[in-house]
Amino acid sequence: MLRTMSTAPDTVPASAPEARAELLAFAGRPVDARPDLLGLERDALAAVLDGIGLPAFRTGQIWHWLYHRGATDFQTMTTLAKPLRARLAETFRISRPSVVTRQDSIDGTIKWLLRFADGNEAEAVFIPEEDRGTLCVSSQVGCTLTCSFCHTGTQRLVRNLTSAEIVGQVMVALDHLGAYPTGGPNRPLTNIVLMGMGEPLYNFDNVASAMRIIMDGEGVALSKRRITLSTSGVVPMMAQCGADLGVNLAISLHATTDTVRDDLVPINRKWPIAELLDACRRYPGLNNARRITFEYVMLAGVNDAPADARRLVALIEGIPAKINLIPFNPWPGSKYVCSDPDTIERFAQIVLAAGYASPVRTPRGRDILAACGQLKSESAKLTRREARSVAAE
């Protein structure tokens, strides 16, 4: 069952003509030229505030309002004198992506289609579980890569998301979940996974900046242990990710031979399995309490034989690891079929017998196309000619 909610003030109905009318109205909207405070790391925020003559202590105060309290209106910043609030509002803005649609799955999963200032769209998904609440965040609109089982892979890369747009996804979720002040006990959002649309290591600077903001102890305050970055295998960026952010790493492995992986995850042609696993072995801070997650999508007749399971455990030997078996989630036009439950079980048993926990990921939000690999937005890359004509308007 699919339920479209319209709880957010800026939510629009999802029917095609209305959505189109909304898009057209959006395109004609005046652009807010005030610089955005969202998405600036602390030192950058301090610099812009210094630029209008504010003393250093204001940075901490404003940071608290932005990320601990979720303020989007300077007038609500009651620890600042009224004239200062007015001055800030004249000079700056605090952005949020607008919510085009919010869909609530029968299993509690929430998917937001979000639109950014230039009209591009991406999705974020909140997955509540008994002991945690995980937000799956997008790092790009579309993806440059073309993994053959992934819906996002059918959408060309439109562009990287900015730090403000990545942080903005988290803020929208916190707004909707009523999760301010942040950082307290029993909070609904406890984990972040960079497993939405896009390859985070191909947009590392913005992803890193956004994650540093989210990890800041005086704001959203999610620890690096609660953040997981998933990569298809951008080997040269993995060490930097570990050194700069120290977040958990997940690797989209999905195959145990280069021939099969070349086909499923084409980045393998550039950085084959052996190089990828070498980079995993060098990932800083690994130990039994802190393991790499290997993601493995179960595709009937492609990568799900007992021999694959045995090769898998041999390949990752010596790496502190978890294995996550993901039932393939179909999408319109996909050419694969999910392995049947017995095959998945047999695969899981071989992995388990080798000493690895191998939870089979329960698909969440399938009814609203919110499960792994089902995210896709309608944003299309403009042709050069279209881009010129938009710029000329």
What lies within 8 Å, CB to CB, of 391 at 6+ separation is none
Q: Are 225 and 204 in contact (CB under 8 A)?
A: no
In the complex with ligand SAH, the residue whose CB is nearer, 110 or 251, is 251
Whole-angstrom distance, CA of residue 88 vs CA of residue 62: 10
Whole-angstrom distance, CA of residue 63 vs CA of residue 119: 27
369 binds ligand SF4 (CB under 6 A): no
Contact characters 217-236, ligand SF4, x per CB under 6 A: ---------------x----
From 94-102, 146-154, 179-187, 238-246, span contacting ligand SAH (CB under 6 A): 146-154
199 binds ligand SAH (CB under 6 A): yes
In the complex with ligand SAH, the residue whose CB is nearer, 196 or 219, is 196
297 binds ligand SF4 (CB under 6 A): no
Cβ of residue 20: shortest distance to ligand SF4, in angstroms? 27
297 binds, among ligand SF4, ligand SAH, none (CB under 5 to 8 A by kind): ligand SAH
Pairing verdict, β 292-298 and 321-327: parallel
Q: Give the CA distances from residue 131 to residues 62, 168, 187, 323, 326, in Å, rounded to whole numbers and listed in that order.
A: 32, 24, 11, 20, 20
150 binds ligand SAH (CB under 6 A): yes
372 is annotated as an active-site residue: yes
Pairing verdict, β 227-231 and 121-128: unpaired
Side chain identity at 81, as an amino acid letter? A
123 is annotated as an active-site residue: yes
Pairing verdict, β 140-141 and 159-160: antiparallel
User: Can you tell me which of 295, 312, 368, 370 binds ligand SAH, judged by CB under 6 A?
Assistant: 295
Omega into 128 within 30° of 0, i.e. cis? no
Residues that bind ligand SAH (CB under 6 A): 147, 149-150, 195, 199, 230-232, 252, 295, 297, 326, 328-329, 372-373
Residues that bind ligand SF4 (CB under 6 A): 143, 145-147, 150, 152-153, 198-199, 232, 252
Active site amino acids: 123, 372
